[in-house]
Structure 1
Amino acid sequence: MSIELRHLRCFLAIAEESSVTRAAARLNLAQPSVSRSLAALERHLGTRLVDRSTHHLALTPEGQAFRDKAAAAVAAFDEALDAARLLHAPLRIGHAWSALGPYTTPLLRRWARENPGIPVELLRIDDRTAGLTRGRVDAAVLRGRLTVPDLVTAPLFTEARVAAVTADGPLARRATLALADLATGPVVLNNVSGMTTLDLWPTAIRPTATFTVGNTDDWLTAIAAGRGVGVSAASTAEMHTNPGVVYRPLADAPPVEVVLAWRAAAPHPAIPDFVALVRAVASGDRPPGASAG
């Protein structure tokens, strides 16, 4: 049996819904049909993509690796047949939490004036590459270390790091903090789309307790509730305010490089112009703690 696009669509629906039943409803198909498509795909690949042994359906490691490839293939197929996209070719830019920080609004306004025929779609997607490896965007604004193969990156600017602490806690009374000040209690880590890991701290003062979350909103909620402290880029302080969280400069933390990343194969033709304009905006209106890349 040959594998067709419908097999990939069924698998992706199952992966996103974590349920064969919900995937079938979403695709307007009978549940047995979706189950057969998944089974056929697994037979063709010679590996299990979905773990059915637990109470809640989950992807196997092989399924997680295949999901990004399947999503990119489906997205490429849909885009190739989208007549409207061929005419207007919007530039889809993904980001995980803070877009382009304080440069976001002036950049979008200037782009609209200078490139009226190529609209920019800014999409927040909570994963490590902000939807890029899944084929959901043409390029992504990323922060921190990038280890994904087959991606091209261009530096845009750098940002200082800040500490995020509970508003009524003792650390909030300090004007500036150091990494050692954050090492005594739990550190809240966003292990899905965040950039901070324990490697930020020198071994001698590395925190021993962590609290993990899956997105920026939960990260803020945990810090506001006193579950721990956090570290992020300076733009987070401007883009994500919370009455229970205050941000303080981190005197001894290295800056964060903000880059634009895109897939090496068939890049959107407007990407070079977008990179150039971001750099121009960042250089011409530089807020404290940021410098052009």
Structure 2
Amino acid sequence: MTIELRHLRAFLAIAEESTVTRAAARLRIGQPALSRTLGRLEEHLGVRLVDRSTHHLELTPAGRAFRDRAATALAAVDAALDPGALTALPLRLGHPWAALGALTVPLLRRWDAAHPDIPLELRRIDDRLAGLTRGQVDVALLRGRVADPRLVTELLTEEPRMAAVPADSDLARRDALTLADLADRPIALNTVGGTTSLDLWPAEARPTATIEVANTDEWLTAIAVGRAVGVTTEATPRLHTHPALAYRPLTDAPPVPLHLARRRGPLSHPAIPSLIALVHEMYAQR
């Protein structure tokens, strides 16, 4: 049997939707046909990819491992077949939020001046690893602890934390804040790509209310309208200003490490070393 791209797309749809019904509707094919396609893929690989014993389908350990490989392969094929990319293969730099803060625009400008023939695309992807393991980007800026064995990481800096509060609140009238100052307010937590959790507070003084959001835009809105306060790093105010939101230094919270990461193994783009060198150079010149 020959594995085709449709087998990979079928498996990824099932993995993302968690049911054959929704996956079939998304792919616009019948459920029996989709089930047969998955079965043939599993037969070819000789392993079970999906556990069908529960109401909502779950990936087996082999299925979770294959999901990243399949996503990377499809991303590479889609990029190769994109007519708009035939003139120059773009270098994709991903981030879940804040990119390089104040250095973001200078980086893009210096890259354009030094490499006018290689487009550098900055992509915000709402994912803890910014789509790096799925092949959506070539290099990623990742904050917090990164321990994925599939990645090679380099520490760029450690960013001081900031509190984000409604601009008309009493907290905004202070020059600096502490974790205790925020503890009696609901905390906005980005559960997809953020680095803040209630573990940041001492166990005996943790906030009792949280508002979970899925991306930076939802996080900003929740704080701006007065529903919550938030914790971020000094990079965020550089890219995300809002007239109804104020940022203040958070004096007793540990800094957040910022890493430059790429997938382990062969480089996905020949210009990756040049980008890594430029980013390190810019941080050294700050």
Both structures adopt the same fold (TM-score exceeding 0.5): yes
The alpha-carbon deviation at position 154 of structure 1 amounts to 1.5
Deviations 1:158-192 (A, max 9, x none): 32210011222221221100112112232211111
Which residue in the other structure is 1:148 paired with?
148
1:155-170 pair list within 5 angstroms: 155-170=155-170
Please give the alpha-carbon distance, in whole angstroms, between the structure 2 residues aligned to 1:85 and 1:95. 21
1:51-200 pair list within 5 angstroms: 53=55, 60=59, 66-78=66-78, 88-200=88-200
| 1:45 and 2:40 are equivalent in the alignment | no
Root-mean-square deviation (CA, aligned residues, Å) is 3.0
Give SS of 2:283's match: helix
The alpha-carbon deviation at position 280 of structure 1 amounts to 2.3
The alpha-carbon deviation at position 14 of structure 1 amounts to 4.0
Deviations 1:104-155 (A, max 9, x none): 1111111111112222111111001000011111111111111212210112
Q: Sequence identity, in percent?
A: 58
Deviations 1:10-30 (A, max 9, x none): 122344566756655665645
Q: 1:140, 1:260 within 8 Å by CA — same for their partners in 2?
A: yes
Q: 2:176, 2:251 within 8 Å by CA — same for their partners in 1?
A: yes
Q: 1:157, 1:279 within 8 Å by CA — same for their partners in 2?
A: no
1:6/1:226 CA distance change after superposition, 3 Å: same
The alpha-carbon deviation at position 93 of structure 1 amounts to 0.9
1:50/1:126 CA distance change after superposition, 3 Å: farther
Deviations 1:250-280 (A, max 9, x none): 1122222221101011123322211221222
User: What residue ranges of structure 2 are gaps of 5+ in the alignment?
Assistant: none
Look up the equivalent residue of 1:189 and give its one-letter code: L
25-34 or 245-254, larger mean C-alpha shift? 25-34
Deviations 1:181-240 (A, max 9, x none): 112232211111011122222334333332211111111222223332211111111212
Look up the equivalent residue of 2:164 and give its one-letter code: A
Look up the equivalent residue of 2:37 and give its one-letter code: S
Which residue in the other structure is 1:211 paired with?
211
Give SS of 2:122's match: strand
Give SS of 1:219's match: helix
1:241/1:165 CA distance change after superposition, 3 Å: same
TM-score of the two chains, using structure 1 as the length reference: 0.82
Which residue in the other structure is 2:34 paired with?
34
Q: 1:42, 1:49 within 8 Å by CA — same for their partners in 2?
A: no
Please give the alpha-carbon distance, in whole angstroms, between the structure 2 residues aligned to 1:118 and 1:47. 38
Which residue in the other structure is 1:249 paired with?
249
Q: 1:186, 1:209 within 8 Å by CA — same for their partners in 2?
A: yes
Give SS of 1:265's match: coil
TM-score of the two chains, using structure 2 as the length reference: 0.84
